Amino acid sequence: MKTNFTIFPRKYFKFLALALFSLLLVNCSKNDDDGPEIFEFKEFENLSELPEVDDPEPEFTEPNLGSVEDSEATKAMIADFQDESGDLSQTTKDNITAVGTFSDGLTTDIQDEAQALDAAKIEEILNGSELSGDYAALAAELETLPAEVAALFPSIAFSDDYNRAQEQNKAGVVVNDLLADLVSQSGTGTCNEVALASYNAAMEAPIAKRDEQLAIINANYDARVTAANSRFDDRTAALNAMLEENRTFVANSAIAILTYAESISDTDADLAMDLREFALLYVVKSTVLITTFEAEATSLLEDTLAAELARVETIKVEKTALIQSNFAAVKAEADALLTAAYAKCHNQGSGS
């Protein structure tokens, strides 16, 4: 069988080749003119700012420690002793009689101690760490006193702060990981990279402001703790000065009683002995009261310090939580924008 072939002229092939070349040239030129695709995410520019957080200084009220008050009746007796007229008032005589009757009923033999009582012994009793021996036994007997005798000894005037102190008997803050829940959503394409870079750039300011605010809160907390401890030290020093004043007025009163007793020892030995015993009772009872006041006042100061430290700690925790909450809100806004940006990249087919 015979096969026939059609022979095309050479100029036809030249024309076909020229047409194909022109087509390629035009297509390449078009791609060059378009250039690389540009991705922009201006929505991150409108990200909300982190709000300011105010941290005013808290105010603290100084605790009222109260005081140890001397007996007005005893002060009147001493004034009577020091009156140069030489005559004692009937009130003073009645008070001395009441003390003498009470002393006669004591089981502790105090005559030797009363006879040996002087300024040095008074100071020793008042400044001792605790009473011992006959002094301790005497203190126990002085816990219950008839009203007319109790009125001759100092008393403690407690303030309402003690009741309040008795009635007053950290949560961690979770810091958001900036990209922990979003990196897994991102692709590796140019569009996704631009979106993530825009997100990071937008979050730089909130992160910096959050860190600055947290640093301020922490610095304020440290300063307030230091101030609270300083107030405690000052209050303790003031208490110690008060206690020293108490011991001084007790010593002065006791010495005044002893001085008068010595002045009448030759003319009225029995009255002089009653006064010496009263001076001893006065010193021992006052020592117990001052020691009790010191313990209660120290406890109040410690409770006050604990309350102040707890308050500044609460302020720190609350302010820190507020800052983190504000930051979390801004981050959530940025997270939503990033999620939307990733979706936009995916829908455009440009994520990879």
State residue 90's pLDDT score: 95
Q: For residue 26, what pLDDT band results from cuts at 50, 70 and 90?
A: very low
- Give me the torsion for CA of 302, 58, 164, 229, rounded to 10°: 10
Q: Which helix H or strand E contains 162, and what residues bound it? A: helix 161-167
State residue 349's pLDDT score: 64
Pair 311, 25: CB distance under 8 Å: no
Q: For residue 166, what pLDDT band results from cuts at 50, 70 and 90?
A: low
Q: For residue 352, what pLDDT band results from cuts at 50, 70 and 90?
A: very low
CA–CA distance, 49 with 330 (Å, rounded to integer): 7
State residue 4's pLDDT score: 45
Q: What is the mean pLDDT of the chain?
A: 84
19-28, 34-43, 119-128: least confident range: 19-28
Q: Report percent pLDDT > 90 for the chain.
A: 64
Pair 349, 186: CB distance under 8 Å: no
State residue 234's pLDDT score: 98
CA–CA distance, 183 with 195 (Å, rounded to integer): 11
Is residue 312 over pLDDT 80? yes
Domain ranges of the chain: 42-348
Q: For residue 37, what pLDDT band results from cuts at 50, 70 and 90?
A: low
**Which tens digits make up the pLDDT trace of 257-289?**
999 999 999 999 999 999 999 999 999 999 999
State residue 226's pLDDT score: 98
133: left (phi over 0), alpha (psi -120 to 50) or beta: left
Q: For residue 45, what pLDDT band results from cuts at 50, 70 and 90?
A: confident
**Which tens digits make up the pLDDT trace of 182-199?**
444 444 558 888 889 889
Bigger pLDDT: 298 or 87? 298
Pair 117, 279: CB distance under 8 Å: yes
Read off the amino acid at residue 77: M
State residue 164's pLDDT score: 63
Pair 196, 185: CB distance under 8 Å: no
